Amino acid sequence: MTVQGGDVQKTHLCVSAEFVGQVERIESGKSSRVSLTVNSKMRVDEKGLAHGGFAFGLADYAAMVAVNDPYVVLLSSQARFLKPVIVGDRLEAQAEVTDEEGKKRKVHCEVFNQDRQKVFEGEFLCLVLTQHLLDKRID
């Protein structure tokens, strides 16, 4: 899929946009922007509070797409949940690759709601593998 920025998405091609967002922009190896509208399947209570895992999933997806390698995986993360997210919120994740060392990539990601309030911030350490994680190694 080619999106704004002209780059073709190369990773996480089968993921459900309903739960982790829609890619809006890719600059491979540099940055991405992904948006998500919070729906009722994401709520944890009758007041419409969304489970934090959906904001995290959006940010993680944005980090993977910023790296944009078919074999990128998440090694670790540091997450900060800053404001509640509720059903109906339109979230936008902005991810930027901040460091590259060998096969490792550090990605900083911020998630904002429709009022431009920052609701999540995280650091993701990603690893670019030479083959799919589930493929058997043949030496």
pLDDT at res. 139: 47
State the DSSP string of 48-83: -BBPHHHHHHHHHHHHHHHH--TTEEEEEEEEEE-S
pLDDT in tens, 39-72: 999 999 999 999 999 999 999 999 999 999 999 9
CATH topology of domain 17-128: Thiol Ester Dehydrase; Chain A (3.10.129)
pTM of the model: 0.93
Compute the Cα dihedral for 46, 17, 34, 67 and give only its sign.
positive
pLDDT at res. 137: 65
Positions of the chain with pLDDT lower than 50, given as ranges: 139
Which residues, 6+ apart, have CB-to-CB distance to 83 below 8 Å?
A: 113, 117, 118, 119
